[in-house]
Structure 1
Amino acid sequence: MLANGIRLLIYAGNTVVMLVDDIGKTQFISDLDSMFHDQFLAAPMIPWLLNGSSVGEIRGAGGRSSTAGNVTLTVIFEVGHMSPYDQPAATLNMMMKWIDNVPIARG
């Protein structure tokens, strides 16, 4: 799907239980065999600010600096299993930027 231009967004909270945590999702994307593999591994985590507050971190590959990327991992701070409930503004911000294909965070 990635080779055909389908973008991939994976997100997790940093307080989630072991089965769906940010560490596991980072490992999943790091192990994903795709054309963006090496670029994702080399990419740093970028702080994500919303209204001047730190709400998470973003790591991505593909696209240009003016896009949301082709393979993107978002870690939302202070979120458990239900990000829209725990951090509604941050989750909405992430989803709207992803849909509009603009960077969720700027490096």
Structure 2
Amino acid sequence: MARTVLIADDHASVRTLVREYLTEHGYRVVAAADGKEALAVARTERPDLILLDLMMPNVDGLEFMRIFRRDQNIPIIVLTAKVEETDKVIGLELGADDYVTK
């Protein structure tokens, strides 16, 4: 069975690019365009990994991690345009397993 990756990013072009790459390499991909949708998808799909943007509408990536980390331990890699060191520290403190800038 293929591993499942959730891509949570409000930019359709990013979701498409990452989806195509991961699908070509044998992963099953589910996607969400905002944090609220990402919470719902993560709970129903139980992905093996979450790729999470920080700057999303409704529920941003930081709030997503605050909520999600209360009872879930699925690995999260933050994939964001926020490059400040303080953003990285906050993301990691809130439960990101890694922090990658776009």
TM normalised by structure 1 equals 0.34
TM normalised by structure 2 equals 0.35
Bigger relative contact order (CA 8 A; separation at least 6) = 1
Higher CA-based Rg: 1
